[in-house]
Amino acid sequence: MNPTNLTNPKNQSTQTTDNAKNRAQNAQSAQLLYADTLLEDFIKECIAHSQNPLENHINQTKYILTQTAALSQSAKHTLNELVSLIDSPIKIAVIGQFSSGKSTFLNAILGQKILPSGITPVTAKVCEICYGQTLGLEVFFANNTTALMPLEFLNNTNKQTLAKISHFKLYAPVEILRSITFLDTPGFNSQNESDTKTTNEILKQADGIIWLSLIDNVGKNSEKEILHSHIQKYATKSICVLNQKDRLKNEDEIQTSLKYANEAFSGLFSHIVAISAKQAQDHARKAESNIQAVLDFLYTQIIPNASSYKPHRILKQLQALTLQELYMTHKYALRLQELQSYLSLQNAQIKFDLLQTHLQDEFDALFRQYDAQLENLSLKIFNALREQEIEFSIPHKSAFGLTKLHTLKQTITTLPKDEILSLLTHNENQTIRDLRKLRFQISNFGKSFECFLHQELQTFQETFHKWLFQVQKYTQDNEQPLTITLTKDYQNASQKALFALQSELETLSHLLIISYQNAIELALEKIDAKITFALKKHKENPKEFALWIPTFENIRDFINQGFHYGLYQDKLFLTNSLYKKMLFNLSAEIEIFYQHYATMLAQKLADLAQKKQNLKAHLKVLRDGRDLM
């Protein structure tokens, strides 16, 4: 022990306090660990000792899903519904084309005239008909609120109120509803496409169906198409009811319709019967209505088989939940692979996108226009050359040694440089206007390239926003920071390349006009000096020295020198031109940046691969539970 602590109460107190804190922290950690272990054991024990095999499967699914990811609200809702479904009635959807008499038929089944019949707005909403101690109506609104209403509400609802309603739930003390809940649907052939969508959604959760058709209009192609597309999967536990048989003249016509329906709907239904829902509501004609055939089917086939329908439905939905999680994990991995691929190809994509634009042509046109302006300028100077006849004397010795002067006449080429200079440097000169336009185009190309980079950035952002939108469907991980970082760094790399390009373009643009007059003067001076020098030498010795008559190519060479032709050719025309260098630098920087994310993406993909294995193992457990069905 430190001797100081023996004599210093303050130090001794501090050490005691620290030791107490450490003991408290260790105790707390142990408690948390024990609590986690206890909770884990408790959950497993609850699952293991579940009395109902279906409930056991539900709990196991809930447990495995919470081990891999937090449960979504949708998954929680589904699992809770499955728990309540264990002791709930099966669901039978009543489906039919518009105006096929579904409401009247259901009233006949229930033995009470409850639902409104005919073409009314109410029949466009789903009505769940279930057992209740008393007759009542619960209205579910689109804003997730509910309200209890009198039954008269079904007959008195206007379109404005109906638009705010999601669906209805009707409670009735009818014995058949203890075993079966009926779902009165909008049908497939109504004028509103959303009705068909709603009906399709109901089919996904229904345990069986009653397809209602008009006996005198049965077997149309549109009806058969719907049945083959949506109903065929329920053939073993569905019945086709041909309603309004009372509209036919006699039994022969009824049997003819039944025969045709059996041929047209072969393999689609377990049974096909002809009834009159209208007659069924008349006690005196109930037997004649044949409604008992429907009731017999429900009591002898659907209700007895309810015990097999329910496990099938529960296990099917549990598998669907697990498959959905497996699907989402798989899709999330695919999204990450797409991101990985997109990032690795981005530099090549920029080059490809550039080739698809007009920028290559626009940039090449700059040099062509520059070259054409110098060509035009040279042509103007060449066309301004004048021929002039002059006389000059040269000494000549005769045969006797006497020197005489001989006068020669010679046509020479002259350059009116002052006149040409005045013409070419006047503000209204077309050449100056054309060069100013070219100067603007050179400078403006930087803006065009900026627009290209901005479009690339927008595409980059849109791609990641779409990717983020897609990936958020499959994971609860927050990928927003990654998207922001990539976009920001991409923009910085773009701006760096852009500024370098614009700087050089501005130099070329500025040089084009600022050197114009000096270039003209220099070219004219050189041409004139060479003409004058050649003339002088020619006058001295015509035989040895010829006159210099400038060709168009000669003039163009002097113009090229004055206007820095080699510089513009290098920057605007040759293989290693400005924008190609800038694009190369940009893509190289982006490639380096993207490599930074390769390790992170690879690790994420490895984690997802392990997650998929765990889900597949649980799916096998659920499939082994099919012995309950």
Do 289 and 419 fall into the same domain? no
Residue 335 belongs to some domain of the structure? no
pLDDT tier, 38 (very low <50, low <70, confident <90, very high otherwise): very low
Do 221 and 360 fall into the same domain? no
Task: Please indicate whether residue 573 or residue 250 has the higher confidence score (pLDDT).
Answer: 250
Integer Cα distance of 397 and 31 in angstroms:
132
70 pLDDT exceeds 50?
A: yes
- Which pLDDT belongs to residue 556? 92
476 pLDDT exceeds 70?
A: no
Residue 199 belongs to some domain of the structure? yes
What is the pTM for the complete model shown? Answer: 0.49
513 pLDDT exceeds 90?
A: no
Do 105 and 212 fall into the same domain? yes
3-class secondary structure per residue, 9-48 = HHHHHHHHHHHHHHHHHHHHHHHHHHHHHHHHHHHHHHHH
8 pLDDT exceeds 50?
A: no
- Which pLDDT belongs to residue 171? 94
Per-residue pLDDT of 168-191, as tens digits, reads: 999 999 988 988 899 988 777 556
Residue 191 belongs to some domain of the structure? yes
- Which pLDDT belongs to residue 98? 67
DSSP string, 482-527: HHHHHHHHHHHHHHHHHHHHHHHHHHHHHHHHHTHHHHHHHHHHHH
Domain stops at, among 244, 278, 304: 304
Give me the percent of the chain exceeding a pLDDT of 70: 87
Least confident range of 66-70, 501-505, 581-585: 66-70
Cβ-based neighbours of 11, under 8 Å, separated by 6 or more: 2, 4, 5
Integer Cα distance of 366 and 376 in angstroms:
15
| Mean pLDDT value of segment 285-298 | 90
- Which pLDDT belongs to residue 305? 75
- Which pLDDT belongs to residue 117? 64
Do 280 and 365 fall into the same domain? no
Least confident range of 4-13, 15-24, 75-84, 290-299: 4-13
Domain stops at, among 45, 61, 81: 45
Helical H runs in 183-305? 193-205, 221-226, 251-264, 277-280, 286-289, 291-297
Tokens 């309950």 belong to 628
Total domain count, the chain: 3
Residue 318 belongs to some domain of the structure? no
- Dihedral of alpha carbons 265, 267, 273, 276, sign: negative
Do 352 and 447 fall into the same domain? yes
| Chain centroid, CA 36 distance in Å | 41
Residue type, 101: G
Do 11 and 101 fall into the same domain? no
- Which pLDDT belongs to residue 385? 92
CA dist 94 → 129, 146, 155, 187 (Å): 11, 24, 20, 9
Mean pLDDT, all residues of the chain: 82
Q: Find out whether 450 and 428 touch, Cβ atoms under 8 Å.
A: no
Do 247 and 362 fall into the same domain? no
145 pLDDT exceeds 60?
A: yes
- Which pLDDT belongs to residue 128? 92
45 pLDDT exceeds 60?
A: no
- Which pLDDT belongs to residue 211? 92
Pairing of strands 165-172, 136-141: antiparallel
pLDDT tier, 342 (very low <50, low <70, confident <90, very high otherwise): confident
Residue 70 belongs to some domain of the structure? no
Integer Cα distance of 139 and 148 in angstroms:
6
Cβ-based neighbours of 171, under 8 Å, separated by 6 or more: 130, 131, 132, 133, 134, 135, 136, 137, 138
Task: Please indicate whether residue 343 or residue 396 has the higher confidence score (pLDDT).
Answer: 343
Integer Cα distance of 379 and 382 in angstroms:
5
Do 300 and 375 fall into the same domain? no
518 pLDDT exceeds 50?
A: yes
- Which pLDDT belongs to residue 487? 84
**SS3 of 419, please?**
helix
397 pLDDT exceeds 80?
A: no
Q: Find out whether 524 and 628 touch, Cβ atoms under 8 Å.
A: no
Per-residue pLDDT of 113-138, as tens digits, reads: 877 665 454 557 888 999 999 999 99
Burial class (CB in 10 A: 0-12, 13-18, 19+), 7: exposed
Integer Cα distance of 64 and 101 in angstroms:
46
Do 13 and 161 fall into the same domain? no
Q: Using the 8-state DSSP alphabet, how is residue 89 labeled?
A: P
Q: The domain that contains 190 carries what CATH number?
A: 3.40.50.300
39 pLDDT exceeds 60?
A: no
User: Per the structure block, which two tokens stand in for 226?
Assistant: 């719907």
pLDDT tier, 2 (very low <50, low <70, confident <90, very high otherwise): very low
- Which pLDDT belongs to residue 34? 44
92 pLDDT exceeds 50?
A: yes
Domain that holds residue 405: 346-574
Domain stops at, among 530, 547, 574: 574
Task: Please indicate whether residue 28 or residue 137 has the higher confidence score (pLDDT).
Answer: 137
Do 501 and 360 fall into the same domain? yes
Task: Please indicate whether residue 193 or residue 536 has the higher confidence score (pLDDT).
Answer: 536
Residue 523 belongs to some domain of the structure? yes
| Mean pLDDT value of segment 519-523 | 92
Would you mind telling me the total number of residues written for the chain in this entry? 629
Residue 386 belongs to some domain of the structure? yes
Cβ-based neighbours of 324, under 8 Å, separated by 6 or more: none
Per-residue pLDDT of 426-465, as tens digits, reads: 877 888 888 889 899 988 888 888 888 898 889 888 888 8
Task: Please indicate whether residue 397 or residue 259 has the higher confidence score (pLDDT).
Answer: 259
- Which pLDDT belongs to residue 114? 78
Residue type, 164: K
Do 143 and 6 fall into the same domain? no
- Which pLDDT belongs to residue 50? 53
Give me the percent of the chain exceeding a pLDDT of 90: 22
Residue 420 belongs to some domain of the structure? yes
Do 95 and 39 fall into the same domain? no
485 pLDDT exceeds 70?
A: yes
